[in-house]
Amino acid sequence: EPNSSSPTVPLSSGFVPCGFVPLPHLFFTSPQIWWLDPELTYGNAKPFVFTQGHSVCNRSFFPCFDTPAVKCTYSATVKAPAGIQVLMSATQSTYLEEEGVYQFYMEYPVPAYLVALVAGDLVHADIGPRSRVWAEPCLLPTAISKLSGMVERWLTAAESLYGPYIWGRYDIVFLPPSFPIVAMENPCLTFIISSILESDEFLIIDVIHEVAHSWFGNAVTNATWEEMWLSEGLATYAQRRITTETYGAAFTCLETAFRLDALHRQMKLLGEDNPVSKLQVKLEPGVNPSNLMNLFTYEKGYCFVYYLSQLCGDPRHFDSFLRAYIEKYKFTSVVAQDLLDSFLNFFPELKEQCVESKAGLEFERWLNATGPPLAEPDLSQGSSLTRPVEMLFKLWTTEPLDSVAAASSVDLTKWRTFQTVLFLDRLLDGSPLPHEVIKKLSECYSSQLDSMNAEIRIRWLQIVVRNDYYPDLYKVRRFLENQMSRMYTIPLYEDLCTGTLKSFALEIFYQTQNQLHPNLRKTIQQILSQGLNPLPAIDTTAVTTDTPAMVLEDKVSEATNGAISLRDVNVSA
């Protein structure tokens, strides 16, 4: 229930009591609440439930003003069976063991979409003075080894840039592979998909991005979903300032180059005049705001924020402005004009220079022009990491192919993950490749790639599929037989069904469908059904609607369905 003393408008009339009750097989009750039977968890021991409120799904969880413009505190009482651990995005919690009742209280005002609940077979370990990690017992040792001591390092770096962390604790819970996005910045309790644990560099970036949201998005929120870049663009900028402080400029530039490559890929497919490429997107009545969230929200938003920082001459001056911005607007919601007016008032010399009206780079044009960013960051500090990628790509794509010896001498196991995925993404962009090239690529790298993380393997397997390279197809089958996550299944099924391998995809799907969440199963059915007679009925008893959660996977815009692989928009919330 909302706290009546909240300084902002409270949530409706009350918080609906939530009880964890085992439901029929794989039952899915609403767009917001995901119920999983034990077989859809890693431990296969107990049922599991989680919520995902972004952007407007929490209206099916509890009565609320489901808009980011409204914030309030909240309290909740949750009754659960013995052995089920319940967590919420709250600053305070207690547990009455005799009654099996959890009580939660969020003392700071938050928008409805940041109210989150998870319950299941979860255990924890402290990984820092104000952080702990929660996971299923079989995953906890891995989570500890990946994150112990790291979160405090990132929080400290963020505080040095943007001021005190105001939420008290920063805990992380790893969710089963059915979690429909990569990560979600619920205050005090970040949700992350467990599948990302094996990909160290992606895990680092995803967690740091969610840490950045503690200031940009959670403390200061976009007042309208038409300006999501105010959260995502600023959080992406802050994320990269934090990674620069902790891992150096070269690593940050490499990750930025990887993301900007994806942005330009999306732009090429959508067209430069597509209205979804605006930072201020028009939200038509009846459209789910999540459908408007794409790489422009993140990367074009980031480029605008980076441009503002460059106007200051020194990024540390811009850090000072952002600290003042957070202090002025924390616990409220803002529009773009609030940010820009504050910026010009903080730097009166820039206001005198009329930087907001600089020809070709007008603030208004940044916000409302379609197409790519008006300016992009200088990534030359990352050349030590990006140049080897560019050189290797050139060796493999320059005809005639007479540099195989030089190319094959490159040991990809010594590269960073972001170098390898950048290289593979560029090969994907050039596919289909000449048969001789794909054959030699497999001979040189396939065995190396087999031992790498899923972010790398899925890209190589997409190359295999897009080039109809049959000798490695068994690896595609093996990969899909062991994956239950949208982020690692949908891209391959999309590629399989675009080419000549749809029957192969059907065969794998019928063998693996029972290990997939009904929503994912239904999405794959829709992909497989394109151009075919309707597929035989599959038991999706409780899936009765095409839920917003389905399009939330990596925040894919419906406008891009069928044109852009999910690998191009693999971003955290």
Query: Any binding-site annotation on 152?
Result: no
Token pair 């990491």 in the structure block, residue? 385
Is 247 one of the catalytic residues?
no
Bridge partners, 96 (sequence order): 101
Look up residue 475 and give its two tokens.
Answer: 């690896």
Q: Residue 366 and residue 300: Cα distance in Å, rounded? A: 9
Which H or E element spans position 490?
helix 486-498
Phi–psi pair at 498, nearest 5 degrees: -80, -30
2: which DSSP letter?
B
Which of 237, 298, 302, 469 is catalytic? The answer is: 298
Give the β-pairing of 85-88 and 117-120. antiparallel
b (16+ CB within 10 A) / e for 126-150:
ebbeebbbbbbeebbeebbebbeeb
Catalytic annotation, pick one of 185, 201, 210, 553: 210
Residue that is written with structure tokens 């794509």 in the block: 397
DSSP code, position 163:
-
Identify residue 149 by its one-letter amino acid code: G
Closest CA to 41 of 517, 512, 521, 540: 517
**What are the C-alpha distances in Å from 170 to residues 92, 115, 221, 303, 372?**
12, 15, 19, 28, 35
CA–CA gap between residue 492 and residue 497 (Å, rounded): 9
327 is in an annotated binding site: no
User: Does 25 count as an annotated binding residue?
Assistant: no
In sequence order, which ranges of 214-360 are alpha helices (DSSP H)? 229-247, 249-270, 295, 301-311, 315-329, 336-346, 348-352
Alpha-carbon Rg for the chain in angstroms? 23
Give the amino acid at 116: A
Bond prior to 55 in cis (omega within 30° of 0)? yes
Bridge partner residues of 302 (DSSP): none
Side chain identity at residue 428, one-letter code: L
Instruction: Return the structure tokens found at 387.
Output: 């140049």
Closest-CA residue to 183 (of 172, 193, 195): 193
Q: Is 507 a catalytic site residue?
A: no
The residues annotated as belonging to the active site are 210, 298
Binding site, annotated residues: 209, 213, 232
Binding site, annotated residues for Zn(2+): 209, 213, 232
